[in-house]
C-alpha cells in the first residue's frame, strides 16, 4: 500500500483546544488513519492553549506581513499529533475562546483569522514548503473551508491536490459582508453565485461546498437531511446539485479516553462482565449532583451544550410531568443563559429529583456516562453526536431524538428489536415534549425488567464505535481522488 500524506486543517483539535465534536474528530482521526496508510499533519491556529502544548516546535516559514501582522509557521508535535501551527499573535493571541470572547461574542475579524489559516493550507498544498507536499487536503468546517476556493482561484498551472471538506455542523457557516473580499486575497470574479458569494455576502462554508472535490458529513442520515430545506439552512440547493459527491461517514470515539474498564476519571472501573459494579458509580453521581442515593430510581444523565439545537428546552418543559414517575436527572451543561437559569431554577424547585451543574467539566462528564441509567440526547438536529456513543460504551442506555447521527447509531427498543435481541436504546419522533416523555416512560418500563435492561446495556457495550471503519472510508475517498488525479 502506497502511503499518502494528508494535510488536515481544523480550527480546534482535542485535547489541545475544544468547543465541540469537531475537535474530537480532528484529534482522533490521524491515529486511526495511520493504520490505513495515511500520514496526517494537521494545520491549526496558534491559540495560546495550542502554543503552550507544543513539543519540538521549530519555525519553518516566516512572514513579515500576513493578514495584518508578522507570522510564522511552526512544525511541532503534541500528544501524538503532527502539527503545523500558524503562529500569528495579531490573529490568535486572545483571552477568549477560538471564535469569540468568553461571553460568546464573535471576534470582529474572524473572516481574516480563518482565511489566513485556509490560505496557508492552500499555499502548502501548492508547494510553499520545500520538504512537505500533501497528496490530499482535508478541511474541516467553515473556518477551513476557503482552502479549496484559494486553490481554485490560484494562478493557472498551480499544483492543486484533491480536497475533501467535512461538515460537522451546517449551522455554522462563516458568512461575512462583501466588503471583506478584497482583504481575503480572492479575485473580484470570485464574488459570483458559482464562487464564494452567498446571499449577498461571502460564505466560507458555501465556498468550500462549491469547490471541494468531495463533501463528507458525519453520519449517513445527516448527509441526506442537509439536502432538505428543513436541515440544509440555505445550503440545500448547492448540496443537492452536488449530491453525488456528498458522503456520510459516522464518527468513531477515542477508545483510549472513553473506556469504562480503564477510565481514571471514574470511581469504579467495570466492563460488560463486571456490570454489577456499575451502581457504585451511580451512587457517586447521585452524590455529586446532590441527589438521594436511591439505586431503584431511573437516573437520567445529560452532558451537553445548552443550545436550541440540543432540544433541552423540551426537557425543561417536561420536568413537571417527568417528576410524577419518579426519575432523577443529573444535568451537566453550559451555554444559553436562559436555559442555564431554567435548569438551576428546576433544581431548586425539585430538590432530590433534579441535580444541575453549569460549566464545562471533563471529570463530571465521565461520571455521568459511568453512573446514569439513561443518557438523554433530545436534539432537534444532530450531525453525528458523540455523547450517545460514549453512553453505549459505558452502559448508559441512550434515549435519543430520531435525527441525524442519533438515528444511525441507536437501535430502538421496539417490540421487534427487543425480541430479536438487537436493541441498544430508545428513539423518539417528532422532537416534542410529549414524544420525549413517552420515550422516557418506555425506558422506565424496561428499566423495571432487570434482565431486559441488562441486555440493552450489554448490546450497547458490544457495539463497534471505534474509528476503524470510519478511517477506512476516509482513506478510500482520499485514494480514489488521488488516483483520479494521477497524483501517485
Ligand atoms: P457538539 O459538538 O454539537 O457539542 P457532540 O456530541 O458531537 O456535540 O460533542 C460534544 C462533546 O463535548 C462531547 O465530548 C461531550 O462530552 C463534551 N461536552 C459537552 N458539554 C460538556 C460539558 N458541559 N462538560 C464536559 N464536556 C462536555
Mean pLDDT of 431-447: 97
The alpha carbons of the chain give a radius of gyration, in whole angstroms, of 23
pLDDT at 404 over 60: yes
- What integer pLDDT is reported at residue 115 of this predicted model? 98
Asked, for residue 190, whether it belongs to a domain, the answer is: yes
Q: How many angstroms does the Cα of residue 333 sit away from the middle of ligand 1?
A: 8
Q: How many angstroms does the Cα of residue 319 sit away from the middle of ligand 1?
A: 22
Q: Are 387 and 408 in contact (CB under 8 A)?
A: no
The secondary structure element, H or E, covering residue 351 is: none
Q: Does the C-beta of 333 come closer than 6 Å to ligand 1?
A: yes
Is 50 found in the same domain as 36?
yes
pLDDT digits (tens, 9 = 90+) for 162-176: 999 999 999 999 999
- What integer pLDDT is reported at residue 172 of this predicted model? 96
Asked, for residue 258, whether it belongs to a domain, the answer is: no
Pocket test for ligand 1, best of 141, 167, 357, 360 (most atoms within 8 A of CB): 360
Is 334 found in the same domain as 213?
no
Is 95 found in the same domain as 242?
yes
- What integer pLDDT is reported at residue 488 of this predicted model? 44
Mean pLDDT of 125-150: 97
What is the share, in percent, of the chain residues with pLDDT greater than 90? Answer: 95
Asked, for residue 257, whether it belongs to a domain, the answer is: no
Q: Does the C-beta of 387 come closer than 6 Å to ligand 1?
A: yes
Asked, for residue 218, whether it belongs to a domain, the answer is: yes
Pocket test for ligand 1, best of 10, 17, 21, 285 (most atoms within 8 A of CB): 21
Q: How many angstroms does the Cα of residue 306 sit away from the middle of ligand 1?
A: 10
Asked, for residue 430, whether it belongs to a domain, the answer is: yes
Q: How many angstroms does the Cα of residue 322 sit away from the middle of ligand 1?
A: 24
Is 230 found in the same domain as 310?
no
Q: Does the C-beta of 365 come closer than 6 Å to ligand 1?
A: yes
Residue 303 pairs in a beta bridge with: 332
* Strand residue runs (E) in 10-124: 38-45, 55-63, 71-78, 81-87
User: What are the strands of the beta sheet with 201-203, ordered from one edge?
Assistant: 175-176, 201-203, 197-198
Grid cell digits, residue 391: 453512553
Is 472 found in the same domain as 354?
no
pLDDT at 340 over 60: yes
Sequence-separated (6 or more) residues with CB below 8 Å from residue 301? 285, 330, 331, 368, 369, 371, 372, 373, 374, 375, 376, 391, 396
Number of structural domains, the chain? 2
pLDDT at 103 over 90: no
Domain hosting residue 352, numbered range: 272-462
Q: Are 217 and 248 in contact (CB under 8 A)?
A: yes
Banded pLDDT at 104 (limits 50, 70, 90): confident
Is 285 found in the same domain as 430?
yes
Q: Are 272 and 259 in contact (CB under 8 A)?
A: no
Q: Does the C-beta of 111 come closer than 6 Å to ligand 1?
A: no
Q: How many angstroms does the Cα of residue 385 sit away from the middle of ligand 1?
A: 9
Mean pLDDT of 190-219: 98
Q: How many angstroms does the Cα of residue 58 sit away from the middle of ligand 1?
A: 32
Is 280 found in the same domain as 184?
no
Pocket test for ligand 1, best of 20, 362, 380 (most atoms within 8 A of CB): 20
Distance (Å, whole) CA 50 – CA 16: 6
Pocket test for ligand 1, best of 365, 394, 465 (most atoms within 8 A of CB): 365
Mean pLDDT of 208-213: 98
DSSP SS3 for 233: coil
Is 176 found in the same domain as 303?
no
pLDDT digits (tens, 9 = 90+) for 89-98: 999 999 999 9
Which CATH number is 102's domain given? 3.40.50.2000
Q: Does the C-beta of 265 come closer than 6 Å to ligand 1?
A: no
- What integer pLDDT is reported at residue 279 of this predicted model? 97
Is 334 found in the same domain as 455?
yes
Q: Does the C-beta of 24 come closer than 6 Å to ligand 1?
A: yes
Is 337 found in the same domain as 226?
no
Q: Does the C-beta of 360 come closer than 6 Å to ligand 1?
A: yes
Q: Does the C-beta of 117 come closer than 6 Å to ligand 1?
A: no
Q: Does the C-beta of 57 come closer than 6 Å to ligand 1?
A: no
Q: Does the C-beta of 305 come closer than 6 Å to ligand 1?
A: yes
Is 294 found in the same domain as 163?
no
Q: Does the C-beta of 133 come closer than 6 Å to ligand 1?
A: no
pLDDT digits (tens, 9 = 90+) for 422-434: 999 999 999 999 9
Q: Does the C-beta of 386 come closer than 6 Å to ligand 1?
A: yes
Residue 374 pairs in a beta bridge with: 300, 397
Is 244 found in the same domain as 284?
no
Asked, for residue 261, whether it belongs to a domain, the answer is: no
Banded pLDDT at 326 (limits 50, 70, 90): confident
Q: Does the C-beta of 332 come closer than 6 Å to ligand 1?
A: yes
- What integer pLDDT is reported at residue 325 of this predicted model? 81
Mean pLDDT of 231-247: 97
pLDDT at 487 over 70: no
Q: Does the C-beta of 134 come closer than 6 Å to ligand 1?
A: no
Distance (Å, whole) CA 402 – CA 378: 9
Q: Are 388 and 381 in contact (CB under 8 A)?
A: no
Amino acid at each position: 500500500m502506497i502511503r499518502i500524506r494528508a494535510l488536515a486543517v481544523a480550527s480546534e483539535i482535542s485535547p489541545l483546544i475544544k468547543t465541540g465534536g469537531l475537535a474530537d474528530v480532528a484529534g482522533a482521526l490521524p491515529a486511526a488513519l495511520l493504520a490505513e496508510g495515511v500520514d496526517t499533519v494537521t494545520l491549526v491556529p496558534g491559540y495560546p492553549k495550542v502554543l503552550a502544548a507544543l513539543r519540538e516546535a521549530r519555525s519553518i516559514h516566516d512572514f513579515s506581513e500576513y493578514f495584518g501582522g508578522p507570522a510564522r509557521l511552526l512544525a511541532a508535535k503534541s500528544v501524538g499529533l503532527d502539527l503545523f501551527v500558524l503562529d500569528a499573535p495579531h490573529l490568535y493571541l486572545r483571552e477568549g475562546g477560538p471564535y469569540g470572547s468568553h461571553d460568546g461574542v464573535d471576534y470582529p475579524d474572524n473572516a481574516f483569522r480563518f482565511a489566513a489559516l485556509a490560505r496557508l493550507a492552500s499555499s502548502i498544498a501548492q508547494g510553499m514548503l520545500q520538504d512537505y507536499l500533501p497528496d490530499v487536503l482535508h478541511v474541516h468546517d467553515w473556518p477551513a473551508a476557503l482552502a479549496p476556493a484559494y486553490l481554485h482561484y490560484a494562478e493557472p498551472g498551480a499544483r492543486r491536490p484533491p480536497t475533501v471538506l467535512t461538515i460537522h455542523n451546517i449551522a455554522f457557516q462563516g458568512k461575512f459582508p462583501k466588503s471583506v473580499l478584497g482583504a481575503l486575497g480572492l479575485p473580484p470574479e470570485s464574488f459570483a453565485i458559482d464562487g464564494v458569494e452567498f446571499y449577498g455576502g461571502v460564505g466560507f462554508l458555501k465556498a468550500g461546498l462549491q469547490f471541494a472535490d468531495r463533501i463528507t458529513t458525519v453520519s449517513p442520515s445527516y448527509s441526506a437531511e442537509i439536502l432538505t430545506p428543513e436541515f440544509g439552512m440555505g445550503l440545500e440547493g448547492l448540496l443537492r446539485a452536488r449530491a453525488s459527491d456528498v458522503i456520510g461517514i459516522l464518527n468513531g470515539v477515542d477508545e483510549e479516553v472513553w473506556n469504562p474498564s480503564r477510565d481514571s476519571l471514574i470511581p469504579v472501573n467495570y466492563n460488560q462482565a463486571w456490570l454489577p459494579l456499575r451502581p457504585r458509580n451511580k451512587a457517586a453521581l447521585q452524590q455529586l449532583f446532590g441527589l438521594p442515593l436511591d439505586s431503584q430510581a431511573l437516573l437520567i444523565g445529560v452532558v451537553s451544550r445548552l443550545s436550541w439545537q440540543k432540544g433541552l428546552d423540551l426537557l425543561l418543559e417536561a420536568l413537571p410531568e417527568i417528576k410524577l414517575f419518579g426519575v432523577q436527572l443529573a444535568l451537566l451543561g453550559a451555554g444559553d443563559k436562559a436555559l442555564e437559569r431554567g435548569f438551576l431554577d428546576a433544581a431548586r424547585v425539585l430538590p432530590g429529583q433534579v441535580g444541575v451543574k453549569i460549566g464545562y467539566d471533563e471529570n463530571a462528564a465521565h461520571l455521568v456516562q459511568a453512573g446514569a441509567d439513561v443518557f438523554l440526547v433530545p436534539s432537534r438536529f444532530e450531525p453525528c453526536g458523540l455523547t450517545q456513543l460514549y453512553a453505549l460504551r459505558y452502559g448508559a442506555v441512550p434515549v435519543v431524538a430520531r435525527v441525524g447521527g442519533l438515528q444511525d447509531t441507536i437501535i430502538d427498543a421496539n417490540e421487534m428489536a427487543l425480541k430479536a435481541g438487537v436493541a441498544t436504546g430508545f428513539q423518539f419522533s417528532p422532537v416534542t415534549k410529549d414524544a420525549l416523555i413517552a420515550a422516557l416512560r418506555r425506558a422506565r418500563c424496561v428499566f423495571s425488567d432487570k434482565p431486559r435492561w441488562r441486555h440493552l446495556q450489554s448490546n450497547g457495550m458490544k457495539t463497534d464505535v471505534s474509528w476503524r471503519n470510519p478511517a477506512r472510508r476516509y482513506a478510500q475517498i482520499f485514494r480514489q481522488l488521488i488516483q483520479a488525479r494521477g497524483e501517485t
